[in-house]
Amino acid sequence: MRIQSIEAIPVEIPLARTFGGSKYLVSSRCAVFTRMRTESGLESAVYNGDNRAHGREIARIVEQELAPLVVGEELFAIERIWEKMFPTAHWNRDRKLVLEAMACVDSALWDLAGRALGVNVAKLLGGYRERMPIIAIAAYYEDGKTLADLRREMAWLKSVGMAGCKVKVGGLTPEQDAERVAACREGAGSDFVLACDANRGWAVPDAIRFARLVEPLRIRWFEEPCHWYDDAAGMAEVRRATAIPVTAGQSEITSHGVRRLIAAGAVDVVNFDASEGGGLTEWRRVAGLCRVHGVEMGHHEEPQISLQMLSAVPHGTYVECFPDPARDPIWAGWIKNRPQPKDGIIAVPQGPGFGLELDWQLVEQHRLR
């Protein structure tokens, strides 16, 4: 069964509100949808990415640089195809864009492999479980947002089936952000999972001070606590100074970058993003690396694919999503058969491939021309 054609469709949806992390603002939801077809008529249904300002360029790389390497290849030769694509990143260019384009192709290959065999991707990758706990990415910085608003937000997240929340920190002083996290704990109750995500927002002393302030609040992990330029050494120092596990990996684009974090003693959990780092094929390598080093696996956002991946391995932690439709209208309304979380748990779709039935009319409506 051979690949006949590949089409990459970038989309962008303006958001009604602006959502703030420690060092960034989100005002649109972006993704790239990949339609890969085989000679026998199978067609993929998958999308990748978030906050992609360069969707058009990613689609161009897919269609003009990668497709000529892939069309005509045997569908199940996924490792060989990955190796054919990877040298595209060797030139002096924005390699992250190349890895994102590779991720679109690779994800479509895994989706089609599952569809051809009549099994879901989770089973192809290991099939460890059929349900996963799911947490929200929320508690953003927003104009006028109060501590009372954070308490109400946590209660709402519980009401829509979330097991927990990743709280945005790193944009204020450690003391101010500790107050925000305490408000979230008050609103959520003792049985709710709370993690803190600084998005590389602090210098090491501030990160340590914050961690010690929130330790009594039972924090599941402290994500990307330190500035980007020396993050491995900085996170290792934070990890030694606090009992809170440290998470990172979403800013890496290869398994080699994750190996650097593990070698530095910087992480307890790795949330490598398959859509940023070349797809499921490279994520699988990262998962194996973490398994033998006793490091847990997460995934940065993207429940439409991470649900299949994390459920496949024994050291998977939580699926992450944006339950607020204002933050992610694609997850909220573009998947016709999306499973609904209940009591903190979401079922793994059992349909072939990623099991997604996408609303292609909405995709075309928001397509970047």
CA distance 4 to 70: 9
CA distance 88 to 215: 45
Domain ranges of the chain: 3-118+360-365, 123-347
- The separation between CA 6 and the C-alpha centre of its own chain, rounded to angstroms, equals 23
Q: Does CATH place domain 3-118+360-365 in 3.30.390.10?
A: yes
CA distance 194 to 185: 7
> Is the fold of 3-118+360-365 the same as that of 123-347?
no
CA distance 179 to 103: 39
CATH T-level topology, domain 123-347: TIM Barrel (3.20.20)
- For residue 319 the two structure tokens come to 């699926």
Q: Is the dihedral of CA 221, 226, 227, 231 positive or negative?
A: negative
CA distance 4 to 331: 29
pTM of the model: 0.96
Q: What is the pLDDT along the chain (369 residues), one digit of tens a residue?
A: 999 999 999 999 999 999 999 999 999 999 999 999 999 999 999 999 986 689 999 999 999 999 999 999 999 999 999 999 999 999 989 999 999 999 999 999 999 999 999 999 999 999 999 999 999 999 999 999 999 999 999 999 999 999 999 999 999 999 999 999 999 999 999 999 999 999 999 999 999 999 999 999 999 999 999 999 999 999 999 999 999 999 999 999 999 999 999 999 999 999 999 999 999 999 999 999 999 999 999 999 999 999 999 999 999 999 999 999 999 999 999 999 999 999 999 999 999 999 999 999 999 999 998
Q: What is the largest CA-CA distance in the chain?
A: 60
